[in-house]
Amino acid sequence: MTYNWIDAKDYDMNCFLFFERWILSFIFKGEDNFEFVHDMAKALYKYPYVKEFIRIKAPECSGFLDAVERVDCSKYTSEELREAETKVLQMHETFVVYAYPEVMNRVNYIRNWSPENLYRLVDLDDKTVLDVGAGTGRLAFAAAKRARMVYASEPCDRLREFMRDKIKKEGIANVRVLDGFIECLPFEDDTFDVAMCGHVIGDDYDKEIAELTRVLKDGGFIVACNGDDEFKRQAPDAELVKRGFEWFRHESIEGGIIYDYRKQVGKLVKSR
């Protein structure tokens, strides 16, 4: 899906130098996909140092890059090479904005989002809170205004450093930023009162929800508080509803229909 978060003509393949290994591994797979290999070969033709970076950063991508190297790109015009470059960049626009946090803060689901959409879902007063896939800190910094302590887990270095810069600039004392994925969080069991995220759950519902549950205290809340956009969703996420999540609907200033979710976790087994 294309979200039109960027105009790819404003970027070039140098932005791949900011990508994490997990992103490169996601992009550079499927060397049997003829069209994608040829598009990538043309996109990278003028960037041999980017190809070398990818080989070093993510050696598992070497098979794809070998396929890229077998494509003869010398026959293409500069216009054709640039056309392929913008096509690839637009295709992976969500990763491009991870490399440019200031741009990410201007995308639809962040720019007009209101913290009130979080506050109506859960009581954060004096709570210890985890924000998973924190991005530029939309949820983390909103929670910090009420919570005792907020931990922002984010797997992209550029986004982690953006949050750390904001913490330092604004003197925010109750937010800590660290690396981590939703499938394997770097915390002990029963640590948090609230575990929140936005646009993160969905690749493996059971595994992701189980990991969020693990780090929560008994009675804690999982909160999925999504950003505002223009998409007019017709119904809540059936997979979350099936797993016991309450849902809350509001209309976005961007024109969309937004669903947020909440589930309280019960972990203690009552003795007979």
The arrangement of strands across the sheet holding 128-132 comes to 175-178, 149-153, 128-132, 192-197, 216-224, 257-264, 246-251
Per residue in 100-121, pLDDT tens?
999 999 999 999 999 999 999 9
Domain span(s) for CATH 3.40.50.150 in the chain: 109-264
What global pTM score does this model have? 0.92
Residue 23 has pLDDT above 60, yes or no: yes
What is the rounded average pLDDT for all residues in the chain? Answer: 95
Percent of the chain past pLDDT 70, that is, above it, reads: 98
pLDDT, average across residues 4-16: 96
The per-residue pLDDT for range 28-77, each reduced to its tens digit, is 988 889 999 999 999 999 999 999 999 999 999 999 999 999 999 999 99
The CATH T-level fold of domain 109-264 is: Rossmann fold (3.40.50)
The pLDDT value recorded for residue 30 is 82
Q: Which range is least confidently modeled, 12-16, 26-30, 128-132, 222-226?
A: 26-30
Least confident of 16-20, 30-34, 56-60, 253-257: 30-34
